[in-house]
Amino acid sequence: MGDVMLTLLKDLIRLPGLSGHERPAQERIQAAWEPLVDELSLSPIGSLHALKRGSGEAPRPSVLVATHMDAIGMMVSMLDHGLLRVAEIGGLEPRVLPGQPVTVHGRRDLPGLLVQPPAHALPAEDRKGPVAVKYLMVDIGLPPGQVARLVRPGDLVSFAQEPFEQGEDRLVGHSLDNRASVAALTACLLELQQRTHLWDLWAVATAQEEETLGGALTSAFALRPTVAVAVDVTWARAPGLPEHRTFPLGDGPTNAWGPNIHPGVHQALKEAAGRVEVPLALEPLPAHSGTDAFALQIAGEGIPTGVLGIPLLNMHTAVEAVSIADIRRTGRLLAEFVAGLSADFLQTLTLD
């Protein structure tokens, strides 16, 4: 299971699939999920729906697990004497952008480099601190005329950093937010091949989380699950970061608590983690969780929703880092949660 999951994750890191343009990632996920589920379909805006039927008496309740597959990146906004000005997709950390290798998806894929102008070429008020994305440019190393033939405004620009492993348990690469969670959901599906579950499971790779939450909102409206869980990344602990708002790599996922989370689903996830001895930290989220859970919770008449978080270093950069063990633990916890849903689970849910 680990090799399948890790191979999929590395493949996904190498693919673009920016928010609103997820097809490259969607096709790879679909190929991985096809032998593990009973039905596959695409939503009108590109979310992948995978149904694994339960063994309970029909009509069965269903649980939807959402993991967004879209990635952050850039879009060409204009051509400037052979260089490309860009606009961000999904929010970028400007401090680490200069010097990053990228791929420009023009008439063909073109290798490029994010470059910044010298300080004297910037407005005086913008010469201190990180250079804003609006001043950065992509250099693809070609004459202006050739650039104009190969690239147009609106073309996508994705990170090109290759994934690599550090030590025995850390994977580094771009787009781990949130393809690490897609890998965890894949691990869940693999484990459920050997287990029975009464409820139907909708495994969903959602589109557009980084920009609109549109994938989760429309999928929840269409599928109307009984219960939902969003799996996303959360802030990993590092020197200089506040301990009360971060979580160590390698110590397991987090279980969110706040108004975006149903107390009963939160408790059920906690109990499932205990049964399979997965360490699970409490993550206070007193406002909008910043995840697909916000859209899931308010779909239709409202859906009881939980949130699991996988700690991630260097979020929204090309060198995000995650614990492989945390991904596997999250998959095991999800499988236990799904398998543990009883026929009368909904009747036991309370808001206390």
181 and 38 within one domain = yes
Arithmetic mean of pLDDT, 211-218: 97
188 and 304 within one domain = yes
Arithmetic mean of pLDDT, 188-194: 97
Confidence class for position 3, pLDDT limits 50, 70, 90: confident
Any residues with CB less than 8 A from the CB of 301 and at least 6 apart, and which?
none
**299-312 pLDDT, tens per residue?**
999 999 999 999 99
Q: Residue 18 pLDDT > 90, yes or no?
A: yes
- For residue 251, the SS3 value is coil
Identify which has the larger pLDDT, 240 or 213.
213
150 and 232 within one domain = no
The reported pLDDT for the residue numbered 352 is 80
The reported pLDDT for the residue numbered 1 is 47
125 and 85 within one domain = yes
The tokens of 90 are what?
């999904």
| Active site residues per annotation | 209
292 and 192 within one domain = yes
Number of domains in the chain: 2
The candidate with the shortest Cα–Cα distance to 318, out of 108, 88, 96, is 96
> Considering the domain boundaries, does residue 63 fall inside one?
yes
Domain around 100: 73-159
313 and 200 within one domain = yes
CATH of the domain at 88: 2.40.30.40
Global pTM reads 0.96
91 and 143 within one domain = yes
307 and 199 within one domain = yes
Any residues with CB less than 8 A from the CB of 145 and at least 6 apart, and which?
none
88 and 44 within one domain = no
**289-348 pLDDT, tens per residue?**
999 999 999 999 999 999 999 999 999 999 999 999 999 999 999 999 999 999 999 999
62 and 206 within one domain = yes
> Considering the domain boundaries, does residue 164 fall inside one?
no
Q: What is the mean pLDDT of the chain?
A: 96
Q: In this prediction, what percent of the chain has a pLDDT beyond 70?
A: 99
Dihedral angle sign, alpha carbons of residues 202, 44, 177, 305: negative
> Considering the domain boundaries, does residue 169 fall inside one?
no
**77-135 pLDDT, tens per residue?**
999 999 999 999 999 999 999 999 999 999 999 999 999 998 888 898 888 889 999 99
Q: Are 218 and 45 in contact (CB under 8 A)?
A: yes
**217-252 pLDDT, tens per residue?**
999 999 999 999 999 999 999 998 898 899 999 999
